[in-house]
Amino acid sequence: MKPNLSFLLAAIASLPMLAFSRVLERRYSSTLEPVPGFSPNPTNVPMYLYKPTSFKAGNPVILVVHYCGGSAQAMFGNLPDLPTLADERGILLIYPDSPHLEDHCWDVSSKETLTHDGGGDSTSLKNMVDYAQATYKASEELVYVMGISSGAMMTQVLSATYPNVFRAAAAYSGVPAGCFASPTGLVDAWNPDCAQGKIIKTAKEWGDIARAMYPQYSSRRPRMQLFHGTADDVLLYQDHLEAVKQWSDVLQVDLETPTSVRDNWPSQGLTTTEYGNELVRVVGNGIGHNFPANMTLTLDFFGIL
């Protein structure tokens, strides 16, 4: 049956602009493209790039790391606000694509990936930032990383292995750096104890684990924004509490004295707690593993909105 055209037009005209932009495909200034020339790439991670037409030398760069079963393309499509904001602000976006074909997760378990310049996935991802700086003249200073789930684990691993590279990080539904470590050094291994929130340590112990990934380093560390739902049944909420301990110790903030606590901010059901400018937690009350990512909030935290 043919829909009545005037009814359709009336329905479209009555939609608010926001819904309208969701109905139609987003229009971006550029497209996500593979970067075939990228090297050195020790674990053969495909690199994809979104370079808006507004990008200029010296502009910020964000590494955007996908979830298990995801891909560069899927992550690009999953965060439609991000290329829009990148267009507005001239930000370069790097989307790595997991080389682990059986589960499309990231290696956050091997000794190599948990070591500065250890030659694992973390080194390949950091090299993408180097490549973007050398090839496109992205900023050496305004460098950020964000990720969801396995990508949030990698975000915390990169913050520990390459604290010299990243100025700030945002992790949606992840675990602390080192929590997924494989006792036998396996690459891309699932760690059920960590996933189920059974690995409990003191803040100092977690901080030591992060610092041990780059023991020679003693300078500035990436600021950290951590998101987690209390009803997460894939990576339990306890993992968030452990991550908060880790980064409070690394960033030397006092968990007893948050500088602000806001209920129902930035939206209903979320609680945002800030520890100075260094550490921010956003807890989703009753939210599961699929925490809705807020790119405005994250780019604002990065200081590039």
Ligand X SMILES: *[C@@H]1O[C@H](CO)[C@@H](O)[C@H](O)[C@H]1NC(C)=O
Contact range with ligand X by CB under 6 A, out of 10-18, 86-94, 132-140, 293-301: 293-301
- Whether cis (ω within 30° of 0) applies to the bond prior to 40 is yes
Burial of 305 (0-12, 13-18, 19+ CB in 10 A): middle
Nearer to ligand X, 150 or 298 (CB): 298
Could you identify the residue written with the tokens 């808006």?
Answer: 52
**260 touches ligand X (CB under 6 A):** no
Closest CA to 213 of 145, 127, 111: 111
Q: Provide the minimum distance between the beta carbon of 105 and ligand X in the complex, in angstroms, as a whole number.
A: 27
**264 touches ligand X (CB under 6 A):** no
Closest CA to 145 of 194, 215, 75: 75
**266 touches ligand X (CB under 6 A):** yes
Per CB under 6 A, the list member of 267, 269, 285, 288 interacting with ligand X is 267
The single-letter code of the amino acid at 185 is G
Catalytic residue among 110, 122, 124, 149: 149
Nearer to ligand X, 103 or 300 (CB): 300
Size (the chain), residues: 305
CA atoms within 13 A on the CB side of 274: 10
Q: Which residues of 130-156 are buried (b: 16+ CB within 10 A; e: fewer)?
A: ebbbeebebbeebbbbbbbbbbbbbbb
Q: Provide the minimum distance between the beta carbon of 237 and ligand X in the complex, in angstroms, as a whole number.
A: 20
Contact range with ligand X by CB under 6 A, out of 10-18, 71-79, 82-90, 292-300: 292-300
**Sign for the pseudo-dihedral over CA of 83, 85, 90, 93:** negative
Contact range with ligand X by CB under 6 A, out of 66-74, 130-138, 158-166, 296-304: 296-304
DSSP strand pairing (270-275 vs 279-284): antiparallel
**40 touches ligand X (CB under 6 A):** no
DSSP strand pairing (143-148 vs 168-172): parallel
**296 touches ligand X (CB under 6 A):** yes
Nearer to ligand X, 63 or 297 (CB): 297
Q: Provide the minimum distance between the beta carbon of 18 and ligand X in the complex, in angstroms, as a whole number.
A: 10
CA distance 39 to 83: 25
Q: Provide the minimum distance between the beta carbon of 294 and ligand X in the complex, in angstroms, as a whole number.
A: 4
Q: Provide the minimum distance between the beta carbon of 304 and ligand X in the complex, in angstroms, as a whole number.
A: 13
Asked if residues 114 and 190 have their Cβ atoms less than 8 Å apart, the reply is: no
282: β partners: 227, 272
**294 touches ligand X (CB under 6 A):** yes
Q: Is 30 a catalytic site residue?
A: no
Count residues binding ligand X (CB under 6 A).
6
**252 touches ligand X (CB under 6 A):** no
Per CB under 6 A, the list member of 174, 297, 302, 304 interacting with ligand X is 297
Closest CA to 260 of 277, 243, 236: 277
Nearer to ligand X, 40 or 266 (CB): 266
Residues annotated as catalytic are 149
* Positions in the binding site for ligand X (CB under 6 A): 266-267, 294, 296-297, 300
